Chains A and B, each alone.
Chain A
Amino acid sequence: GENVEQHPSTLSVQEGDSAVIKCTYSDSASNYFPWYKQELGKGPQLIIDIRSNVGEKKDQRIAVTLNKTAKHFSLHITETQPEDSAVYFCAASYTGGYQKVTFGTGTKLQVIP
């Protein structure tokens, strides 16, 4: 089955700096890669996703890149703000049938004011 590894497990950045979180996946059939943000005591919220037919996607300060050959994808947050502090999860799945989503173990991001 699919295996998703996520690094780093914790990340501290100064406000205004950039943050990068990296994930690798094992199943070449995976074609959908969402990223979720989870604040303390709340459910994960989808912040951006990418499908395997594109290499990069941006939404304001957030971007995701995908390298299918190397089987890795990354989340980039620019101009970080204290409200970006949360746990971020990457995930991978195949959407051709039932979508079993495999999640990474999460990255706790702390933005220091």
Chain B
Amino acid sequence: DGGITQSPKYLFRKEGQNVTLSCEQNLNHDAMYWYRQDPGQGLRLIYYSQIVNDFQKGDIAEGYSVSREKKESFPLTVTSAQKNPTAFYLCASSRITGGGTDTQYFGPGTRLTVL
């Protein structure tokens, strides 16, 4: 089955700790994205990457970091600098066609709770 996997499904973090959320896709998509979703709100873009070894900040990148060493993988690290990290994190991917990006498809999400 082709798709996007995120792990873990639930993650608990103590204050002051860094945690890394995994995102893997086997859709052969070039572009990958990380979003944050808070209760009753829409999706806010954290980081995106259109090609291996390159990524760009989104609207709320402070306190987060990413890497893109492989086309299939785009892990997100939530650092201790992120003041309010409790949220639902969504990874997405899309093709790049004709100079632009195509429809984004989402993974199942990781719910991060800070204790």
Contacts and interface: CB of A to CB of B under 8 A. Distances in A.
Given A34-B103, A96-B100, A44 B90 contact: yes
Contact of A41 (B102, B104, B109): B109
B43 A89 contact: yes
B106 interface: yes
A43 B42 contact: no
Interface of A: 32, 34, 36, 41-46, 49, 89, 94-101, 103-106
Given A43-B90, A99-B94, A89 B42 contact: yes
Contact of A98 (B90, B101, B103): B101
Interface of B: 4, 6, 31, 40-43, 45, 48, 50, 56, 90, 94, 99-109, 111
Given A41-B109, A43-B106, A43-B108, A98 B100 contact: yes
Contacts of B43: 44, 89, 103
Nearest to B44: A103
Contact of A106 (B40, B106, B107): B40
Contact of A100 (B45, B102, B106): B45
B106 A44 contact: yes
A95 B100 contact: yes
Nearest to A95: B100
Contact of A42 (B100, B101, B104, B108): B108
Interface of A is mostly: loop
6 contacts: A32-B103, A43-B107, A98-B100, A99-B31, A101-B104, A105-B41
B42 A103 contact: yes
Nearest to B9: A41
7 cross-chain pairs, A with B, having the tightest CB-CB distances, nearest first: A99-B101, A43-B106, A103-B42, A95-B100, A105-B42, A103-B43, A43-B108
A103, A104, A105, most chain B CB atoms within 10 A: A103
A44 B93 CA distance: 12
Contacts of B102: 95, 99
Contact of B109 (A43, A95, A97): A43
Contacts of A103: 42-43
